[in-house]
Structure 1
Amino acid sequence: MDWTIWAGLAAGLLISTVTAPVGVSGAVFLLPVQLSVLGVPSPAVTPTNLLFNVVAGPGALWRYRRDAALHGALARRLAAWTLPGVIAGAAVRVFALPGPDTFRILVAAFLLPLGTWLCLRTLRPARRRPAPPEPSPPALAAIALTVGMVGGIYGIGGGSLLGPVLAARGMPMARLAPATLAATFTTSLAGAAAYAVLALVSPGPVAPDWWLGLACGLGGLIGGYLGARLQPRLPETALRLLLGTLAAALGALYAARALA
C-alpha cells in the first residue's frame, strides 16, 4: 500500500484528536499536509479535504450526542446558513480561484490576530473582562454564510473559522464545539457532492483523491471520537487557550507560506 495512505491515516488521527475538543474538524490543518507532504494537486485537494470531513465527522458527533452535548438549535442555524455558502464557494473555487496563494494570505490575516487576541483575552483576569453578548441571529447568519463560502472554496468545512469567532463573542465551548462540528459535517457533505458534479463539467484535477481522503477520514473518525471524549474533562480556560493557540499557529503557518 502507498505510504501516503498510512501517512494520511496518521495525520487525520493526530489532528482530529487535538482539534475536536474545540469544535474544529482539523481539515484546515490537514490542507497544508496534503499540499506539501502528500502531493495532492490543486484544486483536487479541496474535495479531498471535504471527503475527510464527511468520513471523520461522525466520530466526534456521535460522542457529543451520547454525552447530550449536541444542541440542535445552534447546529441547525449554522448549517442552514453555511450550506448555501459552501455550494457557491465550490463553484468559485473551480472556475475562478484555482490557486492557494490568496487563501493563505486571507487565513493568515484573519486567524493570526484573532487567535492571539483570544489567547490574551482568556489569560486576563475575569474581573477585567466583561463577557461580550452572543451574536444576534442576523449576525450569526452573516458569519455562517461567509464561513460557508470560504469553506467551499478551500475545503476546510468552516469550524476553524466559526470556532474562534463565536468563542471570542462569549459562546461557551461546551455549546460551541458540537454545533460547529455538526455544521462542518453538513456543509462538507454538500460541498463534496457539489465538487463531484463540477468534476463532470470541468477539466483538470477536480475530483477528490478518494483513497487518500478515505484514509485521512478514517484517522479523523477515530481521533474525533477520542477528542470529543476528552472535551468534558478539559476546563473552559484550557479549551479557549487551545483554540486560540491553534488559530494563531495556523495563521502564522500560512503567513510564512504566503511570504515564502
Structure 2
Amino acid sequence: MVVGAIIRVFAIPGPGAFRLLVAALLLPLGSWLCIRAVRPSPERSGAEPSPRSVTLLALAVGVVGGIYGIGGGSLLGPLLVGRGVPIAKVAPAALASTFLTSAVGAVTYSLLALTTSGNIAPIWTLGLACGLGGLIGGYLGAHFRPRLPETILRLLPGGLAMVLGGLYAVQLFS
C-alpha cells in the first residue's frame, strides 16, 4: 500500500493518469468477472487458489490499491470471487483487508501531503462517509446473501466495475 501511494504521488500524478489507470483496471476486471459468473471455468470450479498465490495476489493488490488510493479488499475480493472462492468466504476477508489497507493508505497519503506540493491529503469527511456506506453495505450484503443466487452475487461486482471503469474512461476523453 505504501509503495503504491508513493508511485501514485511521484510517478503518476494528475487526474488524467488516474482516470486512465482506473479505466484500464476496472474495465477488464469487470468483464472478466461477468464472463466467469455466466460461464464458470469447469476445470477450476471448486478449486480455490493456494495460500501462496493468494499472498502474491494480495501483495500486487496492495501496490495497485495504493496507486489507486483505495483499500485492497475492494480489488482482492472480486479477484478471489472470479477465481471461484465462495462469496461467503471472501466477504469477511475483503472487509478486513479493506479496512486495514484504507487506514494505512490514509496515513501514508497524509504523511506524503506534508512532504510534497499539491493537494494529495485524504478528504476525511468523504472517507468517513464511504466507510459508513461500507458498514451499511456489509450489513445489507450479509442479510441478503442467503436470499440471492450465487450467479447474481458474482455478476454484481463485475457489472459495477465495468460501469465505473466506463465512467472514468468517458471522463478521460471528455
Q: TM-score, normalised by structure 1?
A: 0.58
- CA displacement 1:201-227 (0-9 Å, x = unmatched): 223223222334334433443343233
Question: What residue is the counterpart of 1:222 in the other structure?
Answer: 136
Match runs of 1:235-254 below 5 Å? 235-254=149-168
Would the alpha carbon gap of residues 220 and 244 (structure 1) be closer, same or farther in structure 2, given more than 3 Å must change?
closer
Given the alignment of the two structures, is residue 177 of structure 1 paired with residue 73 of structure 2, yes or no?
no
- The count of corresponding residues between Structure 1 and Structure 2 is 173
Would the alpha carbon gap of residues 159 and 192 (structure 1) be closer, same or farther in structure 2, given more than 3 Å must change?
same
Question: What residue is the counterpart of 1:143 in the other structure?
Answer: 57
Question: What residue is the counterpart of 2:42 in the other structure?
Answer: 129
Q: Which amino acid aligns with 2:121?
A: A
Question: What residue is the counterpart of 1:109 in the other structure?
Answer: 24
Once structures 1 and 2 are overlaid, which stretch shifts more, 151-160 or 178-187? 151-160
Given the alignment of the two structures, is residue 89 of structure 1 paired with residue 43 of structure 2, yes or no?
no
Residue 175 of structure 1 and its aligned partner are, at CA, apart by: 0.5
Residue 253 of structure 1 and its aligned partner are, at CA, apart by: 2.0
Q: Which amino acid aligns with 1:218?
A: L
Residue 148 of structure 1 and its aligned partner are, at CA, apart by: 0.8
- CA displacement 1:23-75 (0-9 Å, x = unmatched): xxxxxxxxxxxxxxxxxxxxxxxxxxxxxxxxxxxxxxxxxxxxxxxxxxxxx
Q: 1:256 aligns with which of 167, 170, 173?
A: 170
* Greater RCO, CA 8 A, separation 6+: 1
- CA displacement 1:59-114 (0-9 Å, x = unmatched): xxxxxxxxxxxxxxxxxxxxxxxxxxx01112222233221323332332333233
Match runs of 1:51-90 below 5 Å? 86-90=1-5
CA contact (8 A) 1:122 1:240 kept: yes
Question: What residue is the counterpart of 2:70 in the other structure?
Answer: 156
Q: Which amino acid aligns with 2:167?
A: L
Q: Percent identity?
A: 62
**RMSD after superposition:** 2.4
Q: Which amino acid aligns with 1:227?
A: G
After the TM superposition, which parts of structure 1 deviate over 6 Å for at least 4 consecutive aligned residues? Answer: none
2-structure distance, mates of 1:241, 1:166: 13
Would the alpha carbon gap of residues 162 and 215 (structure 1) be closer, same or farther in structure 2, given more than 3 Å must change?
closer
CA contact (8 A) 2:33 2:155 kept: yes
Question: What residue is the counterpart of 2:122 in the other structure?
Answer: 208
The SS at the match of 2:12 is coil
Would the alpha carbon gap of residues 257 and 193 (structure 1) be closer, same or farther in structure 2, given more than 3 Å must change?
same
CA contact (8 A) 2:23 2:165 kept: yes
2-structure distance, mates of 1:211, 1:142: 33
Once structures 1 and 2 are overlaid, which stretch shifts more, 239-248 or 157-166? 157-166
Residue 166 of structure 1 and its aligned partner are, at CA, apart by: 1.3
2-structure distance, mates of 1:249, 1:118: 13
